[in-house]
């Protein structure tokens, strides 16, 4: 299925997005939007420890789970009027 590295990269970005969007109330967006179509995996302090193949795998995993994660994220939306 997916490697530990890919799962860890995706999990980190899920936590970052939910913290930003829900806990900090900085606005809602889709997971793939948060990832900037995968650029977020290349622009982190940990990017150098991952291979391009692992990052591509993380992008594939993120795209696979985005619909479910977006549904959860929008249910957690705390913005006024939403």
Nearest CA-CA partner of 32 in 7, 4, 77, 68: 68
* pLDDT higher than threshold 80 for residue 7: yes
The reply to whether the predicted model has a pTM over 0.85 is: yes
Domain spans of the chain, in order of start: 4-75
Q: Is pLDDT of 79 > 80? A: no
pLDDT band at 71 (very low <50, low <70, confident <90, very high): very high
- If one counts every other C-beta atom within 10 angstroms of the C-beta of residue 29, the result is 14
pLDDT at 80: 65
Q: How confident is the model at residue 82 (pLDDT cuts 50, 70, 90)?
A: low
Give SS3 for 1. Answer: coil
Per-residue pLDDT tens over the stretch 17-58: 999 999 988 888 999 999 997 888 887 777 778 888 999 999
């Amino acid at each position: 299925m997916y490697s530990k590295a890919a799962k860890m990269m995706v999990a980190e970005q899920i936590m970052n997005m939910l913290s930003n969007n829900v806990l900090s109330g900085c606005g809602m967006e889709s997971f793939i939007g948060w990832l900037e179509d995968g650029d977020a995996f290349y622009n982190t302090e940990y990017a150098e420890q991952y291979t391009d193949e692992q990052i591509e795998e993380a992008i594939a995993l993120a795209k696979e789970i985005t619909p479910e994660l977006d549904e959860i994220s929008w249910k957690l939306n705390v913005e006024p009027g939403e």
